[in-house]
Chains A and B, each alone.
Chain A
Amino acid sequence: MKHKKIEPYLFLIPAILLVLFIYLVPFIFSIVISLTNWNGISRSFNFVGIKNYIEIFQTKELQDVLKNNLIYFVEIVTVQNILGIFLAVLLQEKFKGKNFFRAVLFLPTVICTVAIGFIWNLMLDPVSGFVPGMLSTLGLEKLSKVLWLADSKVAIHTISLVNVWQWVGQSMVIYLAGILSIDRSLYEACSIDGAGKGAKFWKITLPLMAPSLTINIIVTTIGTLKIYDLPFIMTGGGPGHATESLAINVYTSAFVYSRMGYGTAISIALFVFVLIVSLIQLIIMRRREDAVL
């Protein structure tokens, strides 16, 4: 009979208790709050069962906000990953200044999102902003008149772009690590067989960087589905609700409408939604990894 050592697991107990205390206790408390009508201010509340959860599916405003989240999700996950792969492939080549470009592209990732929001707000300012001014100088008068953050049809795409600008460096670094770990002899063998750069990318690079693709897509998916800071800083969710995300709606419901129970119910529903999407992605991406590796 194989003897199982228990000692290593004992050493994990403090860390597990810490994680439980930091994450699981507030999470369970949130579930309890989501079943109440607590307004977030008073010291008393009543349990209302799943009333808050039923209301989530009956509120039209929430459906509109969910649509915004899906726009963020599709735009950011797609553009950030395609651009990240493109930049990683470019910057794995040997050329002078390669490290400089890697650092510059990664730089926005380490800047505080609040600062980035303010900087882009100033740059997109319709009266004295750099972007409208530059477009006007280039003769693109029509584009220079666009209200990048105030037009309800444009603002959400602007925020997606700024988000991509901020985080594409992180995706690039992960892809770069994936690419650099590929055995160089495979490329040499491919060259001997007469394959061009395109063939090398599709037949070697892309399949063998599958683990990087998995982690990048899952991280960007989770990030975009719970996006909060950038739209909050840049537009406050406006104009109207045009850029409002589910996370902003959680905040608004809990603190502006003084409906902490309902707001917390939305956050729990958001958690379940993100969990399901992430698990589905993980299963699909892992199957793909198993197939190509």
Chain B
Amino acid sequence: MKKKLFTAFLTCAIVIGLMAGCGNNTTASDSTPTATPAAATDSGTDAATATPASATDDADKTPVTITYYTWVQSADGEYPQNMIDGFEAKYPWITVDFQMGSNTGGEYSETQAIKLLAGDGIDVTTIKPSDYQQYIDAGYLQDITGESFLSAYNAAAIDSVTSAGKVYGIPFAEDVVGIVYNKTMFEANGWSVPTNREEYLALCDAIAATGVTPTVQGIKDTWTTGQEGMVFMQNLYGQNPDIFTNINNGTAKYTDAVVVETLQEMQDFFASDAVSPEAAGLTYDQAASYFVTEKAAMMSHGEWIMGPINLGEPEFEVGVFSLPTNKAGQAHIGAVEVGQYQSIVASSQHQEESKLFLDYISSAEGAQYFADTMSNMTPVIGVSNASLNMWAELLSEDSLPFYYDQMYSGAQSEFLKQMQLLYSGDTTADEMAAALQAAQDMKE
């Protein structure tokens, strides 16, 4: 009997041990940050105009290491290291401990939330727009209202980071989504850039008739499915600007006819020859390679796609045109948003050094590293990337922020997963709408 009891106890112990990883060992009560109040708002230094500290001054400074947590890194790792090197050269007593967070599957936000809650020693971090407000509400971000480096940004971008009159982060990247295309192939075949949805669908048919896949996407990477849906969903948002607000406050549902109709349009599009069945197994980088090797003529993506496309050294001219969201007779609505915020963590013990860091990356010198190496656009006034001029033209169009960032995080996650199924024909518009609403109903 004793032997059996001991065996049962041992089994319990083994199972508890093996299952421990499924539990959560983060204690809310342990996480109270020891916030250091921000210094006077005029204490920041404008790196663009400040006189660099003298060698004597630098020698007097106590060496400080600040931790920078971000998911933003170029494919070859050059960025942000080049920007960090520039910062450390300017402020030699400050060392930046660069910590890269994986953004595959969207786990960056989850890891970041744990780090912030646990007071993990992060000083500066990159924040997604969808996480910004909840971090402010939780008291994780330092108020930087009035800092001089904010004047480096255009007014619209500052608006996007203003919450109840206060600013908690700098608006670092300006993202725009369009249809990137093989300009050489278009010219050779006499294809015209479409100006509305109908023309776009007709163009897809014409391209498919030549044996080339009209449009490709890395469907296997969940986040990219949001880009594949941009033509259709951004139109839903543009024609019904309150739709997501209403869904989030419970006065509308994903199962409403107007949403299901849009999902049905996507279902029909995915069932046509416009997309490649093969793309269901492609990742983001593989899809870019698919485009570069001229197996596909178009991709729906933001300007960030130019990074992997340029790495593939395409032997053709690449162009971009506005998302053909509008049906004939409808006003065109594009997709533009500030895609990354850089914030100082309220519990940071190095507030002044962190401000110097934000100050530097807001300067023309610091922001130019980002624009050049990441192939991104930035709202820092006077900073641009010549190779992205064609994308910059899309910024001036009437537009709304990305539709998926208006969704509740659970519904957004479900949407991206359901898109995979809709793409491969394993679900229908009605089933997808029901699944989205079920996810929305989980919101507390």
Contacts and interface: CB of A to CB of B under 8 A. Distances in A.
B310 interface: no
B165 to A, nearest CB: 22
A39 B444 contact: yes
Interface in A235-291: 235-242, 247, 250-252, 254-260, 263-264, 267-268, 270-271, 274-275, 278-279, 282, 286
B290 interface: yes
B28 A38 contact: yes
A188 interface: no
B280 A151 contact: yes
A33 B117 CA distance: 15
A239 B290 CA distance: 20
24 contacts: A23-B17, A37-B444, A40-B26, A40-B117, A41-B117, A41-B134, A147-B277, A147-B280, A147-B281, A152-B420, A222-B14, A222-B18, A239-B417, A239-B424, A239-B426, A254-B24, A256-B106, A257-B443, A258-B410, A271-B15, A271-B16, A274-B18, A275-B12, A282-B7
Given A41-B117, A42-B137, A274 B444 contact: no
Contact of A257 (B107, B426, B442): B442
Given A239-B219, A239-B220, 12 more contacts: A23-B17, A23-B20, A124-B281, A147-B278, A147-B281, A239-B426, A241-B417, A256-B110, A256-B410, A264-B23, A267-B22, A267-B24
A250 B22 contact: yes
A39 B24 CA distance: 12
A275 B15 contact: yes
A19 to B, nearest CB: 8
Given A43-B31, A239-B420, A127 B278 contact: yes
B438 interface: yes
Interface string B251-282: 00000000000000000000000000110111
A24 interface: yes
Interface in B1-43: 7-8, 11-29, 31-32
B192 interface: no
A150 interface: yes
Contacts of B423: 239
Taking each of A25, A126, A259, which has the highest tally of chain B beta carbons within 10 Å of its own beta carbon? A126
Q: Which 8 A-B pairs have the closest CB atoms?
A: A255-B110, A30-B23, A26-B25, A150-B281, A150-B280, A239-B420, A257-B410, A126-B281
B41 to A, nearest CB: 26
Contacts of B280: 147, 150-151, 239
A45 interface: yes
Taking each of A38, A41, A151, which has the highest tally of chain B beta carbons within 10 Å of its own beta carbon? A41
A226 B18 contact: yes
A236 B105 CA distance: 7
A61 B438 contact: yes
A255 B7 contact: no
